[in-house]
Structures are given as structure tokens and as C-alpha cells.
Chains A and B, each alone.
Chain A
Amino acid sequence: MADKKGWGLGSKLRGMFARSFVINEDTWDDLEATLLAADFGPDVTDELIDAVKASVAKIPPTDDDDFVRLLREVLEERLSRFDTTLKLQDRPAVVLVVGVNGVGKTTTIGKLAKFITTAGRSVVLGAADTFRAAAVDQLATWAERAGVQIVRPQQEGQDPSSVAFQTVEFAIAQSIDVAIVDTAGRLQTKSGLMDELSKIRRVIEKQSPIAEVLLVLDATTGQNGLVQAEAFLEHAGVTGLVLTKLDGSAKGGFVLAVQERTGIPVKLVGSGESIADLSGFSPVAFAAALVE
């Protein structure tokens, strides 16, 4: 991956103190600019600055490293208020993956399948994205790479709910541990498509409770991420977030607002196109990546 130096918050912050270490109005302006640039959004940015100001008042930092550490602690504290563990205890554990178009749902599923098989569990994928051209083939390619089975629709344009149903049925019949169901990307403004999600949910629940509903969010997204999360929470009962494309220059700061506003924790992060580029969400690592 390319050299990412110079994109980070920390380097910008350190740049602020290039000459000497004095905290003044400019410091806060620069901090505001860097936080906004990381997509935290105006409201959260104000809160974060207030929190840092409060910390600075308590224990005045002595140098720029100290200041950056302070900021990191504030971020960590706010990010780690939620339980980020993926709950896959049910057998089969059904995972439904949802999100808007082009955020990386199918890629995430491929990586997640690999992630779970590495832990020694069996996985089946359900290709319930019957809408987009060649989405099924794309998922099949990932299934092959991860070495897992896939349930395909039996005919072109089959109802996604029925594919989801068959996937769970297959998982039960073959005693497969985890069933991951892919869905078509949909914008949260399309109420018909959002209702379709509710239906997929209902149909799956006829056979087995749903262990996780993962909403995939693209790190490049701005403040619309919050609206997306709220809409998908309402229609699909989202239980966890996956933040993708963190290998780019975008920081995905909006997830903080999403976590706090909806109470849904970030559970996984994707950071590349290769099959191993998926990891559990760690508030400490995420905060560190934001400020470094």
C-alpha cells in the first residue's frame, strides 16, 4: 500500500506546533479543521474540542506529543463505550449483510468467510443480491477464494428472501456453523427496497434467529453515514457496523457519531482488496490510526 504519511491527524497536529509549543486560539482552530477533515461532523467536532479543552485545563500538556496523546485518549474513551464483539454463538449463526450501493458488501462477505473459516468454523454464503448484474458471480468468486460453499438463486431475478431462506435451510441441513447472506445494495431513501430487507429478515427468522445484521459503511462517506445507519436500523435491525475502505485517505470519523446516536457498535473494519484485509474493530487502534 502507498505511503500514507501526511494524511494523518497527528502529522497535521504536529505541524501546528512546528515552531514552538503554545496552545492558543489557532491551536483550537487547527484542531477543529483536522477533526472536520476526518469527517467527525460539526457537532461531534465541537464536543471533542470541548473535551480536549477540559483535559488541557486539568493537566496542561508539555509538548506536542503530549497534546496528541490527550486527543487520542479522548477519542479512545468515546469509541470504547460499546461492545465490539461479533456474536456468532447460535447454530447456525445467521449473518445478514446490508448497506447502500458500492460500499463493499460482497467483498466484506468474502473476507468475513475467510476470517471465520480460519477460526475453524464452517461457512455457507447466500447470494441474495439477485438485482445487480453479475453480483452472484462476484460472490461465487469470493466463495471460491475463501473455500466455502455458496447457495445461488435457482433462476434469474429470484426473490432475494427465498435465496436467504434456502441458504439458512442449507446451513441447518448440512449443520454448517455460520450462514452469511449477501443482499443487494440499496439507498436508504428507497422505501420499497427497505421493505424488502424487512421481508428478508422475517423470512429468515422463520427458521432460525438472526445472529448479526451487519451494516457496511464506506469510510469515504460523509455525514450521510448517520442517516444510512438510522434507516437501516429501522428496517433491518442492524446489530453491528463494518467500516470499509480504511486503506484510503478517508478516516471515517463519522462512525463515532453513528455509534453514539444509534448505539450500534463498529464490529469489523476492512482495509484492502485482499482476502485477509479484515479485522475486528479495536477502539485503541482506530483512535491511534486517527491521530498518527
Chain B
Amino acid sequence: MATFGNLSSRLTDALKSLRGKGKLTEADVDGTLREIRRAMLDADVSLTVVKSFQSAVRERALSDDVNKALNPAQQVVQIVNDELVTILGGQQRRIEFAKKPPTVIMLAGLQGSGKTTLAGKLAKWLAKEKHTPLLVACDLQRPNAVTQLEVIAGNAGVAIFAPEPGNGKGNPVKVAKDSLKYATDKLYDVVIIDTAGRLGVDAELMKEASDIRKATSPDEVFFVIDAMIGQDAVATAEAFQQGVDFTGVVLTKLDGDARGGAALSVVSATERPIMFASTGESLDDFEPFYPDRMASRILDLGDILTLIEQAQQTFDADEQAKVAQKIATETFTLEDFLEQMQQLKNMGSLKKMMGMLPGSGQMKAQLDNFDESEITRTEAIIRSMTPAERRNSRLLNGSRRLRIAQGSGVTVTDVNSLVNRFDQAAKMMKTVAKGKVPQIPGMGPIPGGIGGSRPKATKKKTSRSGNPAKRAAENAAISQGGQGGSGAGFGLGAATGAVDGGAGGVGDLSAEELADMQKLLGGR
């Protein structure tokens, strides 16, 4: 993961010069594209694909159709990401099952790409989806591949058809053909044919694969490819396309740290969709392919890109200015607070958002402990107030508070603590807005024993009301600095970590890098 710092800092450097300009110039874009080209080559994307990708991005970045909500640096990152997702996900679809069973799925690929393991995973997944899969052992080449498939079938709890012992004996075409009859007789509705690994340049074995295809006329032919593969991906994919004309691609070994640029090459070269991803050694480590995740993985930017996008969709710069103004003039009310919170909710599940940030793997447990419904409850309390009360919290006397508590289904204590905390927050934000204590450190002076995690979490958001994208970066800082083991840790403890410059964090980002990132994301 150490690579994260490399590319993001390089991109940050490249994009720094773009800050502060309203529109992108050709020179700006070309400079950025050079970095991106290198990053893509490092990620094993094939050169031809890199080139066509570059020109597509260049064209879009220089057209007038650029998004006004983002600064130029963000624009380029976003365009790059959009293009990646478009290519990776353009042909997305599900498995096509035959109208009349059995549906035949054939697997093909290089040696060691993970076909046999994948056959087991696919079978188990199909069984879970209420199908009755049959594994067919057509890898009669590799020593004991048949035995391996038998063991896997046993582990997955699915049936297997393996009439030949393998190890060079038997005719795979005949086995494949016989399996169809067997499946029809025994009422299996999906047949998964595992074939031997073969090289793209091996004409003889490629012919055998093509014969299996002809003999069984499969509904789907999956090309199984290792995420670690390099520049050879295109040549190999094209050879298999000619040989067996596959209908979909399965990417394996995604649990490694290869960037998987080959995925992009294969999709571009063959125009076949990536259907599934295989992500581990257990038979359950199998999932549909997510183009957006893959895009971020290739360029290794965490999902900061996604945050940019979400920020840009949800937040309106004018709104932000208004809020800042209000804070500065002490007219920040519970109403504004509510509005802020709604915007935040629009940004999608908090947990999901934080989970997307790089290096937040370790945070997972903490995230799971954080109760998002607290935000909803705070919202309910505010919504139970009259507009007048929202505008002026001093109105809230005992009887009003009781009414609000009943209206929102909480106790008076909850209402009290929200109001207290809001008052404190408003006061603190005023300080912040005047530039006395910057951002999160402003949390410092608040007494530690502030109580439940709920208002703390929401209040923190408000305190960092500045630029939304900056907030995203701050979230990153928090996840980097993640301390504390509970929902409450999400509040103060984590913030302290961030103040330390992420010192307690995973070490992916140094304090400087973080600052750069914030500048990049927030800079206008």
C-alpha cells in the first residue's frame, strides 16, 4: 500500500499547477496526463489502451463541457475516473441462462490463472442462487487437476462429472459432450466446464478448447485472467477471443496488491464485459465485478475520487458561503444545522463513505460500532421543533422541551443534551470562522466528558462546515489517525489523531501529503 503515497503525491504535484485557474489549458492537461500515463503503465495497462485513453481524457478536459462545481484539478481527476469507469463497466451484464436447461458455462484461460478454484466458487455461488450446478472435469492435462476439482466440489457441496482420471489420459472434448447428456438426465440446470490451462500461442491446445466450445455450444464462455498479468494481457485475450470467442471475463486474485490494469486492457481490446471478481482462497470469496472499485484500484487513489464526485453532487458552493457567513455573524441556527445534516445524509451512508477512504481497513470495527441512526434521531428532534424554536434556541423552556421529546420519541435529557451541544458548537464555530482555531483542532477545548456519541458526531460535521471536499479530506485524516475503539472514538479520539498529523495512523500518508491532499481537494 506504500504505493498510495507515491501516485497520489505525484498527481497532487502535477495538479498543483492547475489550482486557481478557472479553465484548463492544453499545457495543464498534458502535464497531468503524463503522470497519469505513467501511473497506468505502472499498473500494467497496455500501452495502446493508455494512448487511446489519454486522448479521450484530453479531448474531454479541453472541451467546454466541464463541471463548474469543481476546481480544475478535481475536474481532471474526475474525467479520468469517469472514463475508466465507462470503459470498465460499459458492457456490464449478468449471466445469461439458457431458456432450456442446462445452461452451459465454459471456463478457459492461461495456466495458473485460477480456473479450477473459480469453477468451485462459481458453482457454490450458483447453488446459493438456487441453481443445481454440475462441475465437469475437462482439465485432463495438469497432474491431478481432476482430483483437485473433486475435492473442491466436495467442499462446495456440488456435484461433479469426472469420468476420466486425467494426467494426460482421456479426451476432454468427449467428456464435455457427455456431461451435457449426464446433466440433462440428472436434471442439473447449470454445467460448469473446467478446462486445462493453455497459452495463447499454443495453437494445438487452442484448437482443443475451440472443439470443446463447438461440441457443447456453451451459453457463456468465461475467460479467467489473473489480476497480476502484465502487458501480455492483450495478446493473450485476443488469442483466446479468436480461439474460443469468450463472452465474459472473470478477474482472479484480486486479493493481492496488483493494480489490475490488465482488466482495462482486456475490456478495451475485446469489448467483453468483466462479470465476476475472485478475491480470496475461500470458496465464498467471489463477487460480481464493480467497475468503480476497479477504476480506483488501477489509479490507486483510494476512493477519494468518489468523494469528490459525491461532494460535487451534493454541495452547493453558494450554500456553503451562506453558512460561513451565518457562523461568522452568530446567526447559525438549528435550522441551518438541520440543513447541513441533510446535505450530509445525501452524501450517502457515512459508514460507506468512511470505508471508502484509503487505509480505513483497520477502522472497520470502529465504523461498525458507530451508530448512524444517531444522526437520524438528532434530525427527528430538530424536526419536532417549531420554526421559531429552531431559529432561536433560547425559546426552549421546560414544557417546549417535553413536547419536542414526545414528538420525536426521545427523552427530555436527549433534547437537553442536543441543545447544549448545539450552543457550544455554535460558539466554537464562531471562533473557527473568525480564524482563531482552525478546523478540527477546534474540538480540543470542548470538555472530554461530553457524553454519548450522537451529538458529538453530528456536531463535528457542523464544525467542519467549510468546503465539502475539504471535509472529505478531513474524513480521510480521521480515518488515517483512527484511534479509540468505539463509536465515541469516531468523535474526539479520532480528531486528536488527525491533529497529530495522522501520526497514529496506518502510515500511508504523511502529514505533509495530507496537507497537500487537502489543498488539492479543497483548493479553489
Interchain CB contact under 8 A, B41 and A273:
no
Q: A189-B256, A249-B235 are in contact. Are A220 and B144 (CB under 8 A)?
A: no
Interchain CB contact under 8 A, A227 and B41:
no
Q: Which residues of A contact B262 (CB under 8 A)?
A: 222
Q: A101-B112, A222-B229, A249-B232 are in contact. Are A141 and B41 (CB under 8 A)?
A: no
Segment at the interface with A among B177-185, B199-207, B439-447: B199-207
Chain B interfacial residues counted at CB < 8 A: 50
Q: Is B475 an interface residue (CB 8 A)?
A: no
Q: Which residues of B contact A59 (CB under 8 A)?
A: none
Q: A2-B201, A133-B155 are in contact. Are A224 and B232 (CB under 8 A)?
A: no
Listed residue (A100, A102, A137, A225) with the most chain B CB atoms within 10 angstroms of its CB: A102
Q: Which residues of B contact A247 (CB under 8 A)?
A: 199, 201-202
Q: Bound complex: CA of A222 vs CA of B41, how far in Å? A: 10
Interchain CB contact under 8 A, A133 and B199:
no
Tier of interface size on chain A: 35 or more
| Residues of chain A from 98 to 144 with CB closer than 8 A to chain B in the complex | 100-104, 106, 131-135, 137-138, 140-142
Q: Is A212 an interface residue (CB 8 A)?
A: no
Q: A133-B152, A189-B255, A220-B236 are in contact. Are A249 and B200 (CB under 8 A)?
A: yes
Q: A133-B148, A133-B152 are in contact. Are A39 and B202 (CB under 8 A)?
A: no
Q: A222-B228, A224-B228 are in contact. Are A134 and B199 (CB under 8 A)?
A: no
Q: Which residues of A contact B274 (CB under 8 A)?
A: none
Q: Which residues of B contact A131 (CB under 8 A)?
A: 281
Q: A37-B47, A187-B255, A189-B256 are in contact. Are A222 and B231 (CB under 8 A)?
A: yes
Q: Which residues of B contact A225 (CB under 8 A)?
A: 228, 230
Question: When the two chains form the complex, which single residue of A36, A138, A227, A248 contacts B47, counting CB atoms closer than 8 Å?
Answer: A36
Listed residue (B143, B226, B257, B259) with the most chain A CB atoms within 10 angstroms of its CB: B143
Q: Is B220 an interface residue (CB 8 A)?
A: no
Q: Is A16 an interface residue (CB 8 A)?
A: no
Which residues of B approach A to under 8 Å, CB–CB?
A: 38, 41-44, 46-47, 110-114, 141-145, 147-152, 155, 167, 199-204, 226, 228-233, 235-236, 239, 253, 255-259, 261-262, 281
Interchain CB contact under 8 A, A248 and B201:
yes
Listed residue (A3, A219, A227, A247) with the most chain B CB atoms within 10 angstroms of its CB: A227
Q: Which residues of B contact A7 (CB under 8 A)?
A: 201, 235
Q: Is A64 an interface residue (CB 8 A)?
A: no
Q: Is A198 an interface residue (CB 8 A)?
A: no
Question: When the two chains form the complex, which single residue of B141, B155, B199, B203 contacts A248, counting CB atoms closer than 8 Å?
Answer: B199
Question: When the two chains form the complex, which single residue of B43, B147, B203, B239 contacts A133, counting CB atoms closer than 8 Å?
Answer: B147
State the Cβ distance, B165 to closest chain A Cβ, in Å: 11
Q: Which residues of A contact B259 (CB under 8 A)?
A: 223-224
Q: Is A166 an interface residue (CB 8 A)?
A: no
Q: Which residues of A contact B43 (CB under 8 A)?
A: 223
Interchain CB contact under 8 A, A245 and B144:
no
Q: Is A33 an interface residue (CB 8 A)?
A: yes
Q: Which residues of A contact B201 (CB under 8 A)?
A: 1-4, 7, 247-249
| Residues of chain A from 218 to 243 with CB closer than 8 A to chain B in the complex | 218-225, 227-228
Q: Provide a sorted-by-A list of 9 A–B residue pairs whose CB atoms are within 8 angstroms.
A: A3-B201, A133-B148, A138-B148, A220-B233, A222-B230, A223-B42, A245-B112, A247-B202, A273-B141
Question: When the two chains form the complex, which single residue of A38, A104, A137, A273 contacts B144, counting CB atoms closer than 8 Å?
Answer: A137
State the Cβ distance, B46 to closest chain A Cβ, in Å: 7
Q: Bound complex: CA of A225 vs CA of B42, how far in Å? A: 11
